Chains A and B, each alone.
Chain A
Amino acid sequence: MAANAADVTSRARSSEVLLKVEDVELRFGGVRALRGVSFEVRRGEIFSIIGPNGAGKSSMLNCINGFYHPTSGTITYKGQPRKAMRPYVTASQGVARTFQNIALFKGMSTLDNIMTGRHLKTKATLLENAFWFGRAKREEMEHRKFCEEIIDFLNLQHVRKTAVGTLPYGLQKRVELGRALAAEPELLLLDEPMAGMNLEEKQDMARFILDVNDEFGMTICLIEHDMGVVMDLSDSIVVLDHGEMIGQGTPEEVSNDPKVIEAYLGVQEEGEA
């Protein structure tokens, strides 16, 4: 399949489809959280899913990640359709994520949290680890070095050794991003990376997201409330409302779509006026 093409040059938003969601429906009993959702995420782009509260954005991300399994429809990742995928399998295929309400290991330091992101990159066996010989020691050093680079990249040096439970919210979000980056994912899922942040923190986060995309060519799929941020960041956008797709396209197309304006932007503009 085209998905295996090895000739994808460094970053340029290629035409290769990394993730394809087709006609996905998700039901919880009588509630239909998602209905007929279809979209494509291309390698190297920043893709956003937006929509008002309860639109099904997080449900969509959880389907991609394997926490939920679509009732019907298919999700194709790197050319392979997948059904009932377990989260750790998804992770091993190069999908990392952050969570809306921050799921960090609170008692551990920033460094240790980011180190857990290297879990799948560790090859040494339990026995080697136990006696600290062979690959175990060398690997630990390499991972440590990699994680220190992430810490530098995200400006977290001053809290390296701090237990993350004690950090302010904005920094915790950043540590969570660091943990996801440590896995060197091909697809990075961000669930409301800027929720609850002040303006400055939002700008920082936006810059990190752009840098990650730029420097590592990482494909990013994010969910966001903040329309302004999304419009500036994204290459393409899909808009959900009540579990249905009501718009799709580039930021310009979406912000000019009357249906989107009515369902989402319109409401917000009224509120602001």
Chain B
Amino acid sequence: MPEPDFDEGAAISATGAGGVGQGAIAPTGTGAAMDLAISEGATLERTPGGPEGTGPAGKPRSLWGDAWRDLRRNPVFIVSGLIILFLVVISLWPSLIASGNPLKCDLSKAQLGSRPGHPFGYDGQGCDVYTRTVYGARTSVTVGVCTTLGVALFGSVLGGLAGFFGGGWDALLSRITDIFFGIPVVLGGLVFLSVVTSTTVWPVIGFMVLLGWPQIARIARGSVITAKQNDYVQAARALGATNSRMLLRHIAPNAVAPVIVVATIALGTYISLEATLSYLGVGLKPPSVSWGIDISAASQYIRNAPHMLLWPAGALAVTVLAFIMLGDAVRDALDPKLR
């Protein structure tokens, strides 16, 4: 057996402070991390004490703390965060930027284009498109966000537990998701929502959560099964970790990425599904104001008056994009390899 050069640790510390900026704990790119991995024991240098404070005196760091630090400097997160913040503010207080009344319409102005004071023009009923787009944000954002939260919560908890414990519960849950996948959304919506008389958004949200959770449950189950086979889960078990510790500390952070991606993409689908249901007359009904209602009403006149469609549809597109960008940024921040 060759005489091993055992003390690579000493070599590491000895080569010392070479290459400041490369050895920082948050390397500028994956290239720096690659270098570290390739040149075992030779070029690993002490981390220069920067503002990150990585030395022994530095604060202990955690995945979520690091993710937050990363997010704050990510332009994608800042832009999408600002858009979402703006949407939340106008959902809560639409009168801040729109002084008119979305339900005050004048048929004589139907389908007219942009006017001073009415930048987006008028819709088929002669209502102000700008005011309606601003007021519609509340319903659309509520439907999108609440449905996504509900679906993600139900789906990932049920799917994750089924994937982790396996066996009979897993088989049962998988068959239940199969059944829900078999229900056609539009037909189910017509049947389910036509018996509901409430005019609020909640029955619509409830229906979409009911049909949406199996999608997330399947993804969560799959990624939990993948994560739980890793040796580090076995290592935690060998240390005596409880099931909840293994799930929360080891499996969840490593299984959450696909769920975030699918949930944020689905958020846009939920907003448009609400529009579809409204179009069929089983979702929200006028006098409710929502982008979905406006889009479906305007779609018949796209050749004569495209502005009626483009403004609410554009608002919907920007909202969906903002949430997808947010999900993307969060997913990347939770992966230390990309840092």
Bind each other: no
